[in-house]
Amino acid sequence: GESVGLHLPTLSVQEGDNSIINCAYSNSASDYFIWYKQESGKGPQFIIDIRSNMDKRQGQRVTVLLNKTVKHLSLQIAATQPGDSAVYFCAEKRRSGAGSYQLTFGKGTKLSVIP
Amino acid sequence: EAQVTQNPRYLITVTGKKLTVTCSQNMNHEYMSWYRQDPGLGLRQIYYSMNVEVTDKGDVPEGYKVSRKEKRNFPLILESPSPNQTSLYFCASSFSAGGGGPYEQYFGPGTRLTVT
């Protein structure tokens, strides 16, 4: 079946280094992807999104890259800070019926920043 | 302030006792959905609604009901809760851009439900 998955469940990085979180997707028809950050005890928070007609999108300290050839999505965080420690989820939008859409989430990657 | 609110935030109940978790958003979003989050399983969609009076089953709808009578509210109903419905529940909303959504979703703070 269709799925969104993550390569690594945990990632530890040194403060100030760049972080890269990866995500593989299998639905080639997906046209929209989102990255979320979830801090302990809180709901997921939107970070950045990208549509399938783009390869790259940049935000503040974050960049999302989309490689449709290999169905791969990545989130890059520049100059990682302790406040970036959280679980990160990728999600893809998929059609689930006539005029109906769902978001399917990956299982998440836990990012730990070492001071 | 733009937000999604859920109530209650914490609930402990017993098997079979009907309960409702409320969800409300003040952003005039068309799309609303409910997710449950369990360790190792990530976020799984229970039900979603593309607009008022339009609801659809998500990936794990068994044991749940929803309604969408107003744009801002999307309650989750457990008619006869069971222990396997013990979980962390999130409501979310987003604009739908003419029916092509969801797009950027805003999540509520979560409701931690324990069914004994």
Query: What is the mean predicted confidence (pLDDT) over A18-27?
Result: 91
Please count the other Cβ atoms lying within 10 Å of the Cβ belonging to residue B78.
Answer: 21
Nearest CA in chain A to B32: A102
pLDDT reported for residue A3: 46
Contact indicator for B106, B86 with CB cutoff of 8 Å: no
Cβ A43–B107 below 8 Å, yes or no?
Answer: yes
Contact indicator for A23, A4 with CB cutoff of 8 Å: yes
Residue A79, pLDDT > 60, answer yes
Average of per-residue pLDDT values in chain B: 93
Query: Cis bond leading into B8, ω under 30°?
Result: yes
Segments in chain B forming alpha helices (H): none
Counting one residue from chain A and one from chain B, the pairs whose CB atoms sit within 8 A come to 61
Average of per-residue pLDDT values in chain A: 88
Cα dihedral B18, B76, B21, B92, rounded to 10, equals 160
Residues in chain B with CB shorter than 8 Å from the CB of A89 are 42-43
Convert the pLDDT of each residue in B59-86 to its tens digit.
Answer: 999 999 999 999 999 999 999 999 999 9
Residues in chain B with CB shorter than 8 Å from the CB of A107 are 40-42
Residues in chain A with CB shorter than 8 Å from the CB of B56 are 96-97, 100
Which residues 11-40 of A have a C-beta within 8 angstroms of B? Answer: 32, 34, 36
CA distance B23 to chain A (A): 13
Closest listed residue to residue A22, CA positions, set A98, A89, A99, A104: A89
A4 vs B84: which has the higher pLDDT: B84
Which residues 61-100 of A have a C-beta within 8 angstroms of B? Answer: 89, 91, 93, 96-97, 99-100
Residues in chain A with CB shorter than 8 Å from the CB of B99 are 99
A97 vs A62: which has the higher pLDDT: A62
pLDDT reported for residue A1: 32
Cβ A43–B100 below 8 Å, yes or no?
Answer: no
Residues in chain B with CB shorter than 8 Å from the CB of A104 are 45, 59
Positive/negative CA dihedral, B110, B111, B115, B116: positive
In a structure prediction context, what are the per-residue pLDDT tens digits for chain B, which is 116 residues long?
Answer: 889 999 999 999 999 999 999 999 999 999 999 999 998 788 999 999 988 999 999 999 999 999 999 999 999 999 999 999 999 999 999 987 666 667 788 999 999 999 99
Task: Measure the CA angle with vertex B38, ends B33 and B39; round to 5°.
Answer: 145
Residue A24, pLDDT > 80, answer yes
Contact indicator for A21, A111 with CB cutoff of 8 Å: yes
Name the band, by pLDDT with cuts 50, 70 and 90, for residue A85. very high
Residue A5, pLDDT > 70, answer no
Distance CA A79, CA B114 (A): 39
pLDDT reported for residue A7: 47
pLDDT reported for residue A38: 95
According to DSSP, residue A78 is labeled S
